[in-house]
Amino acid sequence: MADTGDPLDLLDAEERAGLRPAAAGFVHPMLATLTADHFSDPGWIYERKLDGVRAVIVRDDAGTTLWSRSEKPMTGTYPEIAEALGRGPALVADGEIVAFDGPQTSFSTLQARLGLHDPDRARATGVEVFGYLFDVMVVSGRDVTGLPLRTRKRLLRAAVDFTDPIRFSAHRNTDGEAYLAEACARGWEGLIAKRADARYLPGKRSEDWLKFKCVREQEFVVGGWTDPTGSRQGFGALLVGVYDGDGLRYAGKVGTGFDGHVLHDLRARFDGLAADRSPFADAVREKGAHWLRPELVAQLGFTEWTRDARLRHPRYLGLRDDKDPRDVVREEPRS
């Protein structure tokens, strides 16, 4: 249960003296950097990387609202999360909304809620969702981003009633390598390593937060599609790319990960996005190609990048509506 008093009472006089009034509303979330350098360190904590949708929670006198990382409203998409967070001190918190497929968080399962903003329709999908919170940026009208991560986590625990469907994102201290091995053995996506004394940097991608991944996965912009062959309906494959400067660079085609419903749903979207010319900066020589305005963002899993900057064994996981296509770039591990 959340503390009934002011969470800021947990701070000592020096910590309180450093706080400043917070601007009202949304705070752009801090972002992590992908790395291939996996390590253990007593100055770091390690959290499970969840396969869901990033959420910024704003709770004030007007109620609780949910926002995507790109500041799109999600309160109607996940009404049970907003309702469960409806009581307590004013805050802005950071977290992830997930659905499960067995013991695994599943972005594909969460797809049934994508684009729904009517609470009744969202609930009618039957997809049970949970909100995992891992950080807080504003508490009781004060900006706490300058405080160390461990301190912010103490404030978060005091400010929120962690009863399902709201969960505190647990972490481990020090031993990142052993925890990563356990995470990969359990089939998790990976871990997020965070410097324990770091401040929160709104809207910044920082090396104070690092992604340790068990599998390769990221967003890609959909720039076209190919004709279906054989008994396949809808389309054959998606043609995808990432931005490099001002140009959309072709990264390959993905033809797996679709069921009949997804094939039909995506094909229905294509007519409204049809384009006469390829959106890719480089030549794409795929048979039966059709072009689209680069407005859809797809989450893909893959084994690796090839030397000619193409995806090896890509598979479709779902669409994202929480990221601007222009922000989709190739993610390279920090070495």
pLDDT for 197 equals 97
Q: Which of 115-119, 214-218, 276-280, 324-328 has the lowest mean pLDDT?
A: 214-218
- The torsion angle over the Cα atoms of residues 327, 104, 176 and 168, rounded to 10 degrees, is 80
- Band the pLDDT of 334: cuts 50, 70, 90: confident
Q: What is the overall mean pLDDT for the chain?
A: 94
CA distance linking residue 55 with residue 286, whole number of Å: 37
- Band the pLDDT of 332: cuts 50, 70, 90: confident
pLDDT for 3 equals 52
pLDDT for 4 equals 53
CATH topology assigned to domain 216-327? OB fold (Dihydrolipoamide Acetyltransferase, E2P) (2.40.50)
Rg of the chain, C-alpha, whole Å: 21
**Position 256 pLDDT exceeds 90:** yes
pLDDT for 11 equals 95
Per-residue pLDDT of 163-177, as tens digits, reads 999 999 999 999 999
- Band the pLDDT of 6: cuts 50, 70, 90: very high
- Band the pLDDT of 2: cuts 50, 70, 90: low
Q: Which is the catalytic residue, given 49, 153, 194, 211?
A: 49
pLDDT for 187 equals 85
67-71 contacts, C-beta under 8 A, 24 or more apart: 67/26, 68/321, 68/322, 69/28, 69/29, 69/322, 69/323, 70/322, 70/323, 70/324, 71/26, 71/28
**Position 249 pLDDT exceeds 60:** yes
Residues constituting the chain: 335
pLDDT for 24 equals 87
Alpha carbon distance, N-terminus to C-terminus of the chain: 41
pLDDT for 5 equals 81
Determine whether 287 is an active site residue. Answer: no
For the chain, percent of residues with pLDDT exceeding 70: 99
Q: How many CB atoms lie within 10 A of CB 161?
A: 13
Per-residue pLDDT of 62-113, as tens digits, reads 999 999 999 999 999 999 999 999 989 999 999 999 999 988 899 999 999 9
Per-residue pLDDT of 122-160, as tens digits, reads 999 999 999 999 999 999 999 999 999 999 999 999 999
CA distance linking residue 203 with residue 115, whole number of Å: 24
- Band the pLDDT of 18: cuts 50, 70, 90: confident
Q: Which candidate, 45, 111, 24, places its Cα nearest to that of 318?
A: 111
Give every CB contact of residue 121 below 8 A, 6+ residues apart in sequence: none
Please report, for the chain, the start and end positions of each structural domain, with discontinuous segments joined by +: 16-213, 216-327
pLDDT for 216 equals 86
Q: Does domain 16-213 have CATH number 3.90.850.10?
A: no
> Residues 177, 178, 182, CA angle at the centre, nearest 5°?
115
DSSP 195-251: ETTPPP-TT-EEEEEEEEESSEEEEEEEEEEE---TT--S-S-EEEEEEETTEEEEE
Q: What phi and psi values does residue 194 have, to the nearest 5 degrees?
A: -130, 135
Residue type, 256: T
- Band the pLDDT of 335: cuts 50, 70, 90: low
CA distance linking residue 73 with residue 271, whole number of Å: 26
CB of 270 within 8 A of CB of 290? Answer: yes
